[in-house]
Amino acid sequence: MTERENHLMFCKFCSKSSKSLNLGIICSLTNKQADFFNKCDAYIENSKSLESEKKSLESQIDEKYDNMRDIISYVLENIFGIYFFDSIFKSKYDFLKKEQTQKLKIQNSYQHIKILILVFLILTIICIIKLFINYDEFWPKFSVFTLSALLINLSILKLRKPKILLTTDSEGFTYSNKKIKWNEILVYKSVTTEERYSYKKIALGTKSRGIIEIDISNLNIGIKDFLKIIELNKNVA
């Protein structure tokens, strides 16, 4: 976040702000752009402006993402609160207070490898059942293939070094070398994208940087848990 973006987090929604053709948003007290550090002591929130920005960001997110593309996932997540892949492939957390969420180091989930392991495990079990029920020359050969593929993927998962992709602290979180503060997030939502390997993302509507995407499919944390982290920290000053 640049210094100007940090200033605009306050100035855009301050009752004492005004606009200049040359300087953009300025402070009506000084007729200059902001020069405070971290936060402004003279800040008075313009709730009407803030609410308007929230609605605008929500509309932008709804227009940009088609969450009805996968109707089954939509129903499971939005009606029943079930995130299918998260329950199988992601680490589980039980956050009750914000202090539990502010020193996290979230690693790569290697979800694609875990999916392959599950697929080859199921195929191997089917092969074994078929061998007992109806012996055929095809099944021993196929079982060797599925078992080999299963062991190879298990080895890959075991040997891969964990990579930290996201960290959190009391001010916010860092993702892809970008620091996002808790107090700059106005709206947040789980969204579906068209990208094949980045299926699930969290769309964050921010005060001064527009919409920021977090690729949740690569992180070893589920959508529900990540949304909980934001929920617990969203009012941090």
Shared-domain flag, residues 147 and 173: no
The per-residue pLDDT for range 70-111, each reduced to its tens digit, is 555 555 556 555 555 555 556 678 888 989 998 999 988 887
Reported in sequence order, the residue ranges of the chain that DSSP labels E, i.e. its strands, are 17-20, 24-27, 105-107, 164-168, 172-175, 178-181, 185-192, 200-206, 211-215
Shared-domain flag, residues 173 and 224: yes
Shared-domain flag, residues 229 and 172: yes
Strand partners for 173: 168, 180
Provide the pLDDT for residue 77. 59
Confidence of residue 222 (pLDDT cuts 50, 70, 90): confident
Find, among 46, 38, 60, the residue nearest to 12 by Cα: 46
Answer for the pair 199, 217: CB distance below 8 angstroms, yes or no: yes
Share of the chain above pLDDT 90, in %: 35
Rounded to the nearest integer, the mean pLDDT of the chain is 84
pTM above 0.85, yes or no: no
Range of the domain at 29: 3-45
Shared-domain flag, residues 120 and 226: no
Provide the pLDDT for residue 195. 55
Shared-domain flag, residues 97 and 115: no
Ranges 10-24, 59-73, 82-96, 107-121, most confident: 10-24
The per-residue pLDDT for range 172-211, each reduced to its tens digit, is 999 988 999 998 999 998 887 665 444 678 899 999 899 9
Shared-domain flag, residues 14 and 127: no
